[in-house]
Structure 1
């Protein structure tokens, strides 16, 4: 069986809700980075045992949260021993702005995966970029590098676009399928 872990930080719950959708699609375990930037007990071991790791962070000031960055910096120990080499990797993010410089966050997640010699999986969904497209359509934000979501700055988790959450779920399913194919 393919083991997928979604490791993420969420400041206000929106990225956690997105992580849940990704995990649902991937049939994955959730691994939350806490408010101090730490993993729970056994977290590093779960990542080492995984076949695929999906990284998630909100986009704050054009990059990952400081808590996610602390986790990324602490991953130098698994990097040194090449624990994540050839594992499947992917990433997702959420911000209040329609753009919000989310691509910069996905690039940071991609770079982390490349530092670890991982195999990156793209979004794999066609964009919803026609005149007929609606906000709740899949891949409305038109991302190819990973999953993106936009949440109003004055809205709660319940205000997240259904299309963004479905995009996240489909993305998780894609990552899990690629990981399964590579295991054969």
Structure 2
């Protein structure tokens, strides 16, 4: 079992591409939520064994997808027994607009983690907010609470901004380092 598990829903492939980039540098196992909002067989056991759980969802209408929400609601069983207490947690989201109310989604993911008594890990990255910054700069979307990426509504997952994928890889490196230092 992997020390880091990324549980995510992806409606059109963009969120999956971000999850894959995070996993590439963190060594995380991917745990996709299907189109009906369900985990694959053994998914709950993977989450129970993880030292860190990374939550991912696209931002739809200012929050997580209904499929992710179904998973979150189903997590009430481990919540009741505080099974995830003191596990590390982090989160990420993608939407079509630069802002797109992604912060609402990250706050939802953070609240879910806090309800489970988990310990939240942010990006640990400075924003790229000077005149020399370009859309391909690391953390151009400038999030501290969790990873935010932006993909135009008419772009395929293969057309995602290279800087966002590089930021996702840097986020994965941070998560791997944090688990090595803090998880028990």
TM-score by length of 1: 0.97
- Residues in 1 aligned to 2:16 and 2:75: alpha-carbon distance in whole angstroms: 21
Q: Is the 8 A contact 1:88 1:175 kept in 2?
A: no
Could you tell me which residue of structure 1 aligns to residue 131 of structure 2? 131
Q: Which runs of 5+ in 1 are unaligned?
A: none
Write out aligned runs for 1:1-184 (5 A): 3-183=3-183
CA contact (8 A) 2:19 2:56 kept: yes
Provide, for residues 31-56 of structure 1, a one-character-per-residue CA deviation record: whole Å limited to 9, x for no partner: 00000000000000000000000000
Q: CA RMSD in A?
A: 1.1
Q: 5+ residue gaps in structure 2?
A: none
* Equivalent residues of 1:85, 1:117 under 8 A apart: yes
Contact 1:52 1:176 in 2 (8 A): no
1 CA distance for matches of 2:35 and 2:9?
A: 8
CA contact (8 A) 1:55 1:90 kept: yes
For the residue of structure 2 that corresponds to 1:57, the secondary structure is strand
Indicate the SS of the match to 1:167. Answer: helix
2: CA distance, partners of 1:46 / 1:34: 16
Q: State the secondary structure of the residue aligned to 2:145.
A: coil
**For each residue in 1:139-184, what CA deviation from the matched residue of structure 2 results, as whole angstroms up to 9, or x when unmatched?**
0000000001000100101111111011111111111211111146
Matched positions, count: 184
Contact 1:34 1:67 in 2 (8 A): yes
